[in-house]
Amino acid sequence: MPEPARTMKRDTGMRQQLSNFKAEFFKALAHPLRISILDALREGELTVNEISQRFSVEPPNASQQLAVLRNKNIIVARKEGANVYYSISDPALFKLLDVAREIFNHHLIGVRGMLEAINLERPAKTLRH
């Protein structure tokens, strides 16, 4: 295989691997409780029990969601005595969550604008006496 073709094939493979990594990373974020946990970790470390109490979920459910985040290296765990404390592995993740919130807000503003436009287009109902 000529060198340019081999380089092109290698680049395509690397791009595919990077796309797969990104997709798996975003899958790990694709759960409301996991997003809530990450937002809560802005304030500092939390244990499974603190997370389960804060979000009114059973500890096994909290542990399951934490395991998903841990497996993708989104959070890290630190054991101290009988407790395991969870924290974010990279504070840049908070920037990602903030940008996602901003995009969501822009989307909501757009939807609100469409709804207002629809309401303006409706003919006013006549009042009957």
Give the pair of three-digit tokens for residue 70.
């841990």
Are 24 and 45 found together in one domain? Answer: no
> Residue 127 domain-assigned?
no
Alpha helices in 30-122 (DSSP H): 32-40, 48-54, 59-71, 92-121
Asked if residue 69 and residue 94 are part of one domain, the reply reads yes
* Residue-wise pLDDT tens digits, 74-95: 999 999 999 999 999 999 999 9
* pTM of structure: 0.74
What is the domain extent for residue 93? 31-121
- Residue 54 sits in the same domain as residue 91: yes
Longest dimension (CA), the chain: 86
Residues 77 and 112 in one domain: yes
Q: Which sign, positive or negative, has the C-alpha torsion 54, 39, 31, 104?
A: positive
23-80 pLDDT, tens per residue? Answer: 999 999 999 999 999 999 999 999 999 999 999 999 999 999 999 999 999 999 999 9
- Of the candidates 20, 58, 52, the one whose C-alpha atom is nearest the C-alpha of residue 37 is 52
